[in-house]
Amino acid sequence: METPTLASPRLAQRGRAAINFQAGIGIASARLLAQAERALADRGITADTLPEDMDARHDTVAHVIGDHPAFRLNTLLSEWRAKSHGPVARDAFEEQRDQLVPALHALDAGPSRLVEEPIPPLPSYWADTEFHRTEGGWDSSAYNGYVHGEILHKLMLAKMFPGDIFAQRRAAASAAPRRDYARILDMGASSGHYTVALAEIFPAARITGIDLSPRMLEHAARSGNARGQAWQLHVRPAEDTGLPAESFDLVTSFNLLHELPPPVIDAVFAETFRLLAPGGDMLMSDVPRFAELDRLTAWRFDHLAKWGGEPFWRASASMDLAAAATRAGFTGVTAGGIGTAPTFHPYLIQGRKPA
């Protein structure tokens, strides 16, 4: 049972209305993009006629509908929301700081914890990137885990993104072939939303989480304590965890891989293989593969990623993850989307370390 602070963030009126407005802008922005895509079709460009090369696809779209009011307004709204959502959520938190801070610290005590240990050197793909255009990065303020994990996810993203973003996590976790894993590693645990899903699906498992953001993991620990969970959380890179070999029965992630450049993704699969006990399972969930989408849908993802603080999305989504998993040594590798057309999101890659 979630505490009210985490289940449904209670903001003061200004913060609540401002976040609500951000969600409204996101919804309006998506409608404008759909309108622009209809204009594209009216001018004879469809998924079947767009060029294969992604840069050429962008050039074609810009040439054909670059002057269309809906496309221009979509750009304006997207750009403004990208810049303002972080400060708006920050201000919403500050407005309620006196109530929220004691409530959050009341969740510090409990069996879930961020393990105190030296923080390893941060890889450049992380240190040099403001993912999702989060001003100052994930660790820019002491309570950023709550600001992004709860306020933005539950009051903005959940209203903007298609489908139920939390049900998608449960669906991904549920796709694992067994229910009796004793030791699970959540790579890229962040503020703990997928960890929550793992705990629901595998209630008997001992769950470890890693991420590069201490602020996000601090919040994940509070989220675990709010649920009476005993998650052990570490600031470690997924490609080089330093955790003992063969110490997990399931290694899994949700929406981690598209934040990584392809050589690091290869390293993550290799590290996953090393960490799994013989017979253990790998289950990674991420964004759809461009090669498996129609060209217009793939362009839409790339358009949103290009301007949304997702520098590695294109390279990652262009990668054959099933081949990468096979290269790492996994057997019985399967890959494919489990969602609905045309995106089939979320996309799952599964495999087993030979016994």
Distance CA 215, CA 219 (A): 7
Contacts of the segment 32-35: beta carbons below 8 A, 24+ positions apart: 32/70, 32/71, 32/73, 32/74, 32/77, 33/70, 33/71, 33/74, 33/300, 33/303, 35/70
Choose, by CB under 8 A, the member of 21, 126, 131, 161 that binds another protein.
21
Q: Which is nearer to another protein, 84 or 318 (CB)?
A: 84
Nearest approach in angstroms of CB 96 to another protein is 12
Q: Which is nearer to another protein, 91 or 139 (CB)?
A: 91
* Residue 68 touches another protein, criterion: CB under 8 A: no
- Identify the residue whose tokens are 């997702």: 310
With 0-12 / 13-18 / 19 or more C-beta atoms within 10 angstroms meaning exposed / middle / buried, residue 124 is: exposed
* Residue 119 touches another protein, criterion: CB under 8 A: no
* Residue 309 touches another protein, criterion: CB under 8 A: no
Nearest approach in angstroms of CB 91 to another protein is 6
Strand order in the sheet with 276-286: 113-114, 232-235, 206-211, 183-187, 248-254, 276-286, 347-352, 331-337
Q: Which is nearer to another protein, 61 or 89 (CB)?
A: 89
Task: Copy the structure tokens of residue 297.
Answer: 């849908």
Q: Which is nearer to another protein, 87 or 336 (CB)?
A: 87
* Residue 18 touches another protein, criterion: CB under 8 A: yes
**x/- letters, 216..255, toward another protein (CB under 8 A):** ----------------------------------------
Task: Copy the structure tokens of residue 40.
Answer: 């594209």
Shortest CA distance to 231 belongs to which of 256, 255, 211?
Answer: 211
* Residue 10 touches another protein, criterion: CB under 8 A: no
Let me know: does 80 contact 25? Beta carbons within 8 Å: yes
Q: Which is nearer to another protein, 28 or 106 (CB)?
A: 28
* Residue 139 touches another protein, criterion: CB under 8 A: no
* Residue 23 touches another protein, criterion: CB under 8 A: no
Choose, by CB under 8 A, the member of 7, 27, 34, 76 that binds another protein.
76
Choose, by CB under 8 A, the member of 50, 65, 77, 220 that binds another protein.
77
Let me know: does 223 contact 145? Beta carbons within 8 Å: no
Choose, by CB under 8 A, the member of 13, 116, 124, 204 that binds another protein.
13
Distance CA 152, CA 339 (A): 23
Eight-state DSSP code of residue 41 = H
Choose, by CB under 8 A, the member of 135, 240, 292, 294 that binds another protein.
135
Distance CA 38, CA 301 (A): 16
Choose, by CB under 8 A, the member of 35, 47, 91, 232 that binds another protein.
91
Q: Which is nearer to another protein, 10 or 179 (CB)?
A: 10
Per rule CB under 8 A, count of chain residues that contact another protein: 23
* Residue 83 touches another protein, criterion: CB under 8 A: yes
* Residue 101 touches another protein, criterion: CB under 8 A: no
Shortest CA distance to 353 belongs to which of 260, 248, 267, 210?
Answer: 248
Let me know: does 261 contact 312? Beta carbons within 8 Å: yes
The CA R_g of the chain, rounded to the nearest whole Å, is 20
Q: Which is nearer to another protein, 84 or 232 (CB)?
A: 84
Choose, by CB under 8 A, the member of 2, 80, 115, 142 that binds another protein.
80
Shortest CA distance to 255 belongs to which of 162, 186, 320, 324?
Answer: 186
Choose, by CB under 8 A, the member of 2, 7, 8, 14 that binds another protein.
14
Interface contacts to another protein, rule CB under 8 A: 13-14, 16-18, 20-22, 24-25, 76-77, 79-80, 83-84, 87-88, 90-91, 94-95, 135
